[in-house]
């Protein structure tokens, strides 16, 4: 669903998710090979609704959509090289001992390959605990022993997310994407021994509310207060309430470089961007215009995040709601870091001043790392972000 460091925090940004997202990506995902300081991991964007029939999970394996090729795909296993072409509808299951390579990455588990006229879908079928080994280091980074409780918290949140979303992508033939549309999964590449230890230490542990798995959303930096799922125009869930994330004299996500951020746009630039981005931002009206007269935030959520933003033009006004306001300002493939921002004008420029990184719902990853370094245990950390939950064996 995202956090980062305290002292010498080590996190990294993926230049891109392993798969090309179909729509605008929320942020650039985090990488681990060559770690940089104070770089937040990718927040998890709003996923599709899970299949409610799957909420009580029995099976603890997962099907991950890792590749989508238009014409041709190759999977190289120790025992055989498999080649697939787009064509008539077919399903191939590859039984293997693992360590197969696809698109330069080495995977655990077995394979399902779906071929159709539209292309080839590559699905990695594996144990959920092994799946987490390829998720956790790319969602929170590789931390040292001081951040062990943070790794455990991330493992539990990622496991809960995986279980409740089994079947959520069933029309595509798998459970979850391997990118920021669900959770960033990078196979065996860059697995980490301390991360694997944290996964093992929390084996089978999930987050529940009233006996049911929760939607364990998470993000990088909350800026001092999280937000409810209403920012996505979704029904608010009691365990996803807005919570203060502050400590004495500051906020837990203090050391994120996105604690404070600023973006500047010229009027001319915004005229082009707004008309280009209106559809992705789900503007209530879309029409051509040649002048922006005013940009107003007319309503905010309790956390201070934008609830309603209205743009007045020479041809009328239009409105965007909640987190989608970030997409309205998208340029060079990047949306605004968060919806916790204000707008001011300086001559012909509009200045966007904000805090936070990601949608702000659920667990704040930078806050989690800070809490762990302050001595908090993983279950208490999770309960600080998810209201009224229990952390227990599944």
In order, the DSSP letters of 30-64 are P--SS-EETPPPPPPP-PPPP-GGGSS----EEEE
**Nearby residues of 195 by Cβ (< 8 Å), 6 or more positions away:** 133, 136, 137, 142, 151, 155
**Nearby residues of 153 by Cβ (< 8 Å), 6 or more positions away:** 363, 368, 372, 378, 381, 382
Give the three-state DSSP class for 226. Answer: coil
What the block records as the tokens of 97 is 């001992």
- What pLDDT sits at residue 50? 53
Q: Are 64 and 128 in contact (CB under 8 A)?
A: no
- What pLDDT sits at residue 39? 41
- What pLDDT sits at residue 88? 85
Q: CA-CA distance, 97 to 99, in Å (whole number)? A: 7
Angle subtended at Cα 379 by Cα 377 and Cα 383, rounded to the nearest 5 degrees: 115
What the block records as the tokens of 351 is 């200045």
The parts of the chain modelled with pLDDT lower than 50 are 2-49, 51-57
- What pLDDT sits at residue 59? 65
Query: What's the pTM value of the predicted model, to 2 decimals?
Result: 0.84
Per-residue pLDDT tens digits for 106-141: 999 999 999 999 999 999 999 999 999 999 999 999
Q: How far is CA 289 from CA 26, 285, 313, 316, in A?
A: 27, 12, 7, 8
Q: CA-CA distance, 179 to 195, in Å (whole number)? A: 19
- Strands 246-247 and 212-213 turn out to be unpaired
Give the three-state DSSP class for 94. Answer: strand
Indicate the domain borders of the chain.
Answer: 10-58+130-252+360-393, 261-354
- What pLDDT sits at residue 251? 93
């Amino acid at each position: 669903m995202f956090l980062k460091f305290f002292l010498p925090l080590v996190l990294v940004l993926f230049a891109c998710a392993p798969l090309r997202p179909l729509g605008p990506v929320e942020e650039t995902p985090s990488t681990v090979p060559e770690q940089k300081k104070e770089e937040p991991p990718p927040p998890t964007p709003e996923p599709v609704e899970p299949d409610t029939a799957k909420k009580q999970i029995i099976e603890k394996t997962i099907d991950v959509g890792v590749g989508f090729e238009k014409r041709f795909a190759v999977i190289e296993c120790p025992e055989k090289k498999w080649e697939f072409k787009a064509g008539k509808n077919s399903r191939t299951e590859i039984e293997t001992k693992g360590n197969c390579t696809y698109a330069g990455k080495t995977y655990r588990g077995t394979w399902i390959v779906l071929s159709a006229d539209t292309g080839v879908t590559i699905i990695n079928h594996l144990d959920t605990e092994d799946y987490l080994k390829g998720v956790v280091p790319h969602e929170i980074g590789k931390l040292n022993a001081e951040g062990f409780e943070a790794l455990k918290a991330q493992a539990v949140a990622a496991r809960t997310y995986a279980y409740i979303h089994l079947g959520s992508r069933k029309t595509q033939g798998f459970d979850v994407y391997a990118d920021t549309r669900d959770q960033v999964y990078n196979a065996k590449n860059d697995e980490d021994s301390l991360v694997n230890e944290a996964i093992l230490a929390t084996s089978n542990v999930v987050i529940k509310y009233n006996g049911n798995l929760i939607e364990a959303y998470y993000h990088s930096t909350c800026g001092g207060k999280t937000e409810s799922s209403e920012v996505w125009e979704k029904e608010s869930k009691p365990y996803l309430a807005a919570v203060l994330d502050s400590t004495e004299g500051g906020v837990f996500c203090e050391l994120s470089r996105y604690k404070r951020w600023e973006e500047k746009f010229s009027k001319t630039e915004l005229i082009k961007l707004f008309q280009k981005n209106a559809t992705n931002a789900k503007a209530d009206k879309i029409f051509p215009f040649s002048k922006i007269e005013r940009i107003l935030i007319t309503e905010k959520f309790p956390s201070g995040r934008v609830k309603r933003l209205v743009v007045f033009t020479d041809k009328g006004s239009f409105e965007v709601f909640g987190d989608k306001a970030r997409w309205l300002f998208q340029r060079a493939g990047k949306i605004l870091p968060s919806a916790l921002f204000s707008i001011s004008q300086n001559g012909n420029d509009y200045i966007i001043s904000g805090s936070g990184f990601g949608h702000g719902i659920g667990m704040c990853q930078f806050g989690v790392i800070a809490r762990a370094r302050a001595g908090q245990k993983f279950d208490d950390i999770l309960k600080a972000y998810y209201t009224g939950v229990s952390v227990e064996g599944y």
